[in-house]
Amino acid sequence: MMTRSEIEKIVEPLIRECLRKFGDYTPSGISAEEFARAMAGELRLEVRRVSLLVSLAQSVAGGKFEGESLELGCGYGYLLFPMVLFNPQVRWTAVEHPDRRYFNRPEFQQAMRDYKYQLIGADFVREPLPFPDQRFSVITFSETLEHLPVERLNFVMDEISRVLLPGGLLIASSPNQASLENRIRLLKGGSILDMPDHMAVAKGTFGHIRLYTPDEMKLLMSRRGFSLEVSVLESNNSTYRGKSSKSLRRRLYRFYERVEQRFDFLRGFGDTWYMVFRKN
């Protein structure tokens, strides 16, 4: 089984190409070399997130995924395409909101065909998933939970449970409401979230509406008959702090991230949780 650092080396250029080709705000016509220079050091968060999810999937499943798998909210393909590379024996399906700008672009559709993905456009926040009961052995649900309107949370999670096989895995990640940064904001009288607003990139979608703690996620899934296989908390947000990679603020965040990984009592304050659940 590959180490996480080995996985990172494989997924980083893949994530960079996804952003260059499909990113909502990426300048058109920019070359791979120009984009690589412009994004140097700026993809650490996504590389760390994807490498951890891939490694957790490998460790829990033992590298023996079978059957069909589903990604809900595939975005630019950051997690989607690496999962195919590391699990080529699985038949994958991706669901994304059809109003996302890249959804109907020929290069995105072609990438899906190249990776042998079935791409389905659906507003799964408001519509039932277009699949029969107990179809999938694995579902990935990363950085999507926090965008759900609260009143639709139970609907979406019930649909995930419905289409997942007994014994199947749900691999999820989301920002941690109880992170150290959020606690400090609250102590200073601030809010952990901006007022929710529609995202300009797609009608009917929102930015972060509600964050959840790991305990809340455990409770949410236990009510649906899921057991927790593994849970990890980790901070990697330094890339988005400070104006440049050399700024003092970013260096301080990076220093904290290193310290957090050395002391277990700090890991509960991580900015993102990663969990793998098994459906009983």
Q: Kindly report, residue by residue over 132-186, the tens digit of the pLDDT.
A: 999 999 999 999 999 999 999 999 999 999 999 999 999 999 999 999 999 998 9
Q: Indicate whether 112 belongs to any domain.
A: yes
Residue 127 main-chain phi, psi, to 5 deg: -120, 145
Whether 15 is covered by a domain: the verdict is no
Residue 5 lies in a domain: no
**What DSSP state is assigned to residue 268?**
T
Is 69 domain-assigned? yes
Enter the pTM of the model.
0.93
The count of structural domains within the chain is 1
- Cα gap 233→179, rounded to integer Å: 9
Give the CATH number, domain containing residue 92: 3.40.50.150
Read off the tokens for 259: 């310290």
Is residue 13, in this structure, part of any structural domain at all?
Answer: no
Tokens for 181, please give them.
């940064």
Which pLDDT belongs to residue 247? 84
Which positions ≥6 away from 30 have C-beta within 8 Å?
Answer: 20, 38
Q: For 102-118, how does the pLDDT look when each residue is reduced to its tens digit (9 = 90+)?
A: 999 999 999 999 888 89
Q: What is the mean pLDDT of residues 240-265?
A: 85
Residues 6+ apart with CB under 8 A from 104: 98
Q: Could you tell me the residue range of the domain that residue 208 belongs to?
A: 53-279
- The verdict on residue 22 lying in a domain is no
Q: What is the pLDDT of residue 201?
A: 64
Task: Look at residue 31 and tell me if it is in a domain.
Answer: no
User: Does any domain span residue 44?
Assistant: no
